[in-house]
Amino acid sequence: MKILAFLSQKGGSGKTTMAVHTAVAAHEAGARVVVIDTDPQQSATVWSEARQADTPVVVTVGVAELARVLDAARGDGMTLAIIDTAPHAAPDATRIAQMADLIVVPVRPTAFDLAAAQGVVAIINAAKAHAVFVLSACPLRAPEIAETRGVLTSYGMPIAPAEIADRRAFARAVATGRAVTEFESDGKAAAEIRELWAWLADQLAS
């Protein structure tokens, strides 16, 4: 079982949104997926409660119970665990980073998100973890996107080629307990998420 953790030290980065949409895309691609919600806000859990589908499974736990839940997921034959984490929780973030096969750091193209990325990179380096950046909530055709990519390149971590745009389909899908690949399967948001998952799967396999 591979472990994918979405990590950010700033609220509003798109971490939970990206986690649940990626989970559904991975499930649709054939993975047996469990989403582990360690964020006290429990946004992923609220999303799962609104779903009509039973998959992917969503489990709500504290970080202290994470290792036990991961072991149980392996025993149940899960092939992918996606961990949604709390912002502003450095000690817990370090523990999760040490457990994960790959960490995804969502970054919006804003000065505040770029500043917060420094703290995440420090945690990742301390844990000697494999991590990537994903640009999230990107305004369409904004020059800040290229500028953000340029700054992130200096950290030496891979940056996903797929940019997740700021599209209403994401919020509308989540409000109905769905992901964009279910809500608007042939839409641009769905295409972005599928492209992201395909790239992340390659990163997990490397």
* More confident position, 49 or 91: 49
Provide the CATH topology of domain 2-205: Rossmann fold (3.40.50)
Domain ranges of the chain: 2-205
Q: Given this model, what pLDDT does residue 91 score?
A: 82
Average pLDDT over residues 116-125: 93
pLDDT confidence bin for 190, thresholds 50/70/90:
very high
- Please give the Cα distance from 136 to 177 (Å, whole number): 20
User: What is the Cα gyration radius of the chain?
Assistant: 16
Q: Given this model, what pLDDT does residue 89 score?
A: 64
Q: Given this model, what pLDDT does residue 14 score?
A: 85
Q: What is the DSSP string of 138-204?
A: BPTT-HHHHHHHHHHHTTT--B-SS--B--HHHHHHHHTT--HHHHSTTSHHHHHHHHHHHHHHHHH
Lowest mean pLDDT among 92-96, 101-105, 177-181: 92-96
Query: pTM for the full model?
Result: 0.95
pLDDT tops 70 at residue 118: yes
pLDDT confidence bin for 206, thresholds 50/70/90:
confident
Q: Are 71 and 100 in contact (CB under 8 A)?
A: no
